[in-house]
Amino acid sequence: MNFLKRFCRNRGAVLGLVILLAVVAFALLAPSLYPSSPWRMVGRPFMAPFALERFPLGTDTLGRDIAAGMVHGARVSLMIGVVSTIVSLLIGVPLGAIAGYAGGFVDDALMRFTEFFQTIPSFALAIVLVAILQPQLGSIVLAIGVVSWPPVARLVRGEVLSLRTREYVQAAVTIGQSTPRIIFSQVLPNTVAPIIVMGSLMIGSAILLESALSFLGLGDPNLMSWGYMVGAGRTRLLDAWWISFFPGFAIFLTVLALNLAGEGLNDALNPRLARGRE
């Protein structure tokens, strides 16, 4: 209740949530709104938007319905965003927790490993991975996950490190609680809030990354995605701007909404920090 109230006090966050819900709704309703494949050529190519009721957003270079592509693209973007974020959390959280709690040599080794992945230009690595493993849903999710986990690991490590020296964790040690029990009941519950916030922001970055890969032609050839649509329209920018404009704008809106909601979440979960902001 208190949490909801704090979240709602942030108007940007509410706006973000509303946009996000709309995108999710489109994604869920895609099969019933546009039951046929978005790849099908349904009209004349290069039909301008808002001209025909049948094609509210116009058609592309091959006469495919842009509105259909947008709605189906929402599914792909959201799914890849969420799944690859889960992948990077699955890598980053345990790694960070182990490094932070174990300390010493283990910490050193894991942090060198993390630093290495942070030094590599992540987008270039993602391109190489997808190109080499062939563009498919699985390889895209894997590539995004692999390049996105280092900040998670660092965050979790930092939190655990500071919690580990906190007196109530020391107290848990002195009363004889076992290490796994301490990690699960004393340490991790207090790191959940920052992880949730980071996760919500990471979905946005993952969507950006996926769309950039698709734009370069590294999307799954069976899935219609926003990035692919922008890329497909780029040769005919001057006479058919809408082919690239609408899907790009959809990416922008979705990512913006995720960031707004993520910030609202941060304010609501960390009331003390939020007050300091003003």
Give the binding site for other proteins (CB under 8 A). 12, 116, 118-129, 131-134, 166-168, 170-178, 181, 186, 189-190, 204, 208, 211-212, 215-218, 227, 230-231, 234, 237-238, 241, 244-245, 248-249, 251-252, 255-256, 258-260, 276-278
* Residue 101 or 245 with smaller CB distance to other proteins: 245
How crowded is residue 128: how many other Cβ atoms within 10 Å of its Cβ? 13
Cα 77 to Cα 227: distance, rounded to the nearest angstrom: 9
* Residue 35 or 176 with smaller CB distance to other proteins: 176
- Least distance (Å) between residue 131 CB and other proteins: 6
* Residue 43 or 158 with smaller CB distance to other proteins: 158
- Least distance (Å) between residue 208 CB and other proteins: 6
Residue 192 CB-half CA count within 13 A: 8
* Residue 39 or 241 with smaller CB distance to other proteins: 241
- Least distance (Å) between residue 249 CB and other proteins: 8
How crowded is residue 19: how many other Cβ atoms within 10 Å of its Cβ? 17
- Least distance (Å) between residue 35 CB and other proteins: 28
Cα 133 to Cα 140: distance, rounded to the nearest angstrom: 9
Enter the tokens of residue 24. 């999710």
* Residue 54 or 181 with smaller CB distance to other proteins: 181
3 state DSSP class of 64: strand
Q: Tell me, what amino acid is at 152? A: V
- DSSP-H helix ranges across 34-121: 66-102, 104-119
- Least distance (Å) between residue 53 CB and other proteins: 26
Evaluated on CA atoms 158, 5, 1, 258, the torsion sign reads: negative
